Amino acid sequence: MGFRAAASLIVLALVAACATNPVTGRRELSFMSEAQEISIGKESDPQIKQEMGIYNDPELQRYVSDIGQRMAKISERPNLPWTFQVVDVPAVNAFAVPGGFIYITRGIMPFLDNEAELAGVLGHEIGHVTARHSAQQYTRQITGGVGLLALQIFVPAARPFGDLAGQSLGVLFLRYGRDDELQADELGARYESTLGWDPAGVPAFLATLGRLDEAAGDRKGVPNWLSTHPEPLARVKDIQPTVARLKTGRTDFSTNREDFIRRIDGIVYGDNPEQGIVRGAAFLHPVLRFRLDFPEGWEIQNTPSQVAAKAPGADVFMVLRLVENPQGRNLQEIAVNSMRDAGFRAVEGAPARIDNLDAFIGVYQGQADNGATFGARAAHIAYDQKVYIVVGIAPSQLFRQADGAISASIRTFRSISAAEAENIRPSRVDLYVVRAGDTWASIAERGGGVIKPATLAVMNNSAPGTQPTPGTRVKIVVSG
Ligand SMILES: [Zn+2]
């Protein structure tokens, strides 16, 4: 709640004023000064890092940051406190926060085919900041009452539970209109071409996004670039005249493909075990050494602050969180207090043992702003100086029906051995030279079948259904 409240206060303190747009030079209504943009960025940055995690690869971070900084320096707003960070998220995405804070996901990296595409994505996000789209959009969403999405999910007063699954990753994915998107594409192409990268990197990656949309399936339910940057294929067409103009009379553009793919060789693909990993209906955490089995068929979302699962076709959720408990306080007290803070009152509860660990299992009731009531069953489990909170939440009329699956899932919590933990390894990107007779399907199979052939083709700048070219070096995904 702190995040949203603070952001609202900042906005309430603003006075609508006219500001000059740095890109167009036009005067326009703005609710935000540059200082306010910067302060919002500085306030959001730690929250984003906490929610998403920073990908642990200093060399890759430096590489991405260098490319971003070079473009920011030649942009219309070189003096913003620009930062470029790779967040540890498997979804394909990139986003900008007012003030010059740019984030690109680990998950987008394998789908970029060269450095010009990377520069194009970073340049596009820089463009949203320099043209003040992010500030305007932020103003619009805040004043429109949508606000930033709070990071706490337990608070029924803050928002209906129905939105929970779609929001757990969506810290502040701003939605832009098509005009803003085209302008950001144009700015991105211009920034990168000024520095010698091929501006065709922008439409090339948009084409990949379009194919990814068509080949979707592995990534459903995860907010991604497409949900905030719609219609990539229409944009491929829109940006072509700009690219043609920028390329006129020049033949010296680089894509730096070989260096780029060498740098993403070995990058984690899909879930990172350091943040826990989803295997079917199970969630395993090799660092914290536990396992929980969610009900079969539920859609699971893993973020650094929590794991959420949603029943198919119903607003029934389970959430796993943990709190530190170094003093070993009384479990029942922790349980009742934490649920009360989340807006639930205790109906019944009793001490229990789960996997030979001390636990307190209770049933609770809560009410949302709109008057809707919810039932919840929560287990608070003491394990390794922490309390693991496993909660199932359903609208009151569904609770009795859902409670069987929730109860059974809660009971599956267990510790895992060092040997089991050792065997949980991430899938990674690897490089492979295509041989005669290879197909995308055979190459996908070679890596252990962790990626669909269609997705592998898209990752290599190719349409699904095409054949890989013998002798070319391609990106593949190998199981851990
Ligand atoms: Zn955009």
Segment 462-470 mean pLDDT: 93
Ligand 1: centre distance to CA 236 (Å): 13
Q: End-to-end distance of the chain based on CA atoms, in angstroms?
A: 38
DSSP 177-205: -HHHHHHHHHHHHHHHHHTTB-TTHHHHH
Ligand 1: centre distance to CA 238 (Å): 14
Ligand 1: centre distance to CA 368 (Å): 34
Length of the chain counted residue by residue: 480
Ligand 1: centre distance to CA 254 (Å): 23
403 touches 387 (CB < 8 A): no
3-state secondary structure of 403: helix
pLDDT of 341 strictly over 90 = no
Ligand 1: centre distance to CA 119 (Å): 14
Ligand 1: centre distance to CA 343 (Å): 37
Q: Within 10 Å of residue 162's Cβ, how many Cβ atoms?
A: 15
Q: For the chain, list the domains and their CATH numbers.
A: 2-228 (no CATH), 280-422 (3.40.1000.10), 427-478 (3.10.350.10)
Strand partners of residue 105: 87
Segment 387-399 mean pLDDT: 92
143, 139, 123: which is closest to 185 by C-alpha? 123
Q: What are residue 216's phi and psi, to 5 degrees?
A: -55, 160
pLDDT of 154 strictly over 50 = no
pLDDT of 350 strictly over 70 = yes
45 touches 57 (CB < 8 A): no
360 touches 335 (CB < 8 A): yes
pLDDT of 279 strictly over 80 = yes
pLDDT of 401 strictly over 60 = yes
| Alpha carbon distance 261, 243 (integer Å) | 24
- The CA-atom distances, in angstroms, between 307 and each of 31, 179, 347, 373 are 36, 36, 25, 23
Ligand 1: centre distance to CA 181 (Å): 5
What does the block give as tokens for 33?
């000064």
Ligand 1: centre distance to CA 218 (Å): 23
Please report the pLDDT score of residue 293 as a whole number.
Answer: 97
Ligand 1: centre distance to CA 132 (Å): 12
Ligand 1: centre distance to CA 121 (Å): 9
The radius of gyration computed from the CA coordinates of the chain, to the nearest angstrom, equals 24
pTM above threshold 0.95: no
Please report the pLDDT score of residue 188 as a whole number.
Answer: 96
Ligand 1: centre distance to CA 95 (Å): 7
3-state secondary structure of 375: strand
Ligand 1: centre distance to CA 298 (Å): 31
Residue 170 vs residue 291, higher pLDDT: 291
Segment 195-204 mean pLDDT: 96
User: Which residues are CB-neighbours of 357 under 8 A, at least 6 positions away?
Assistant: 381, 382, 383, 413, 415
| Alpha carbon distance 312, 304 (integer Å) | 23
% residues pLDDT > 90 (the chain) = 49
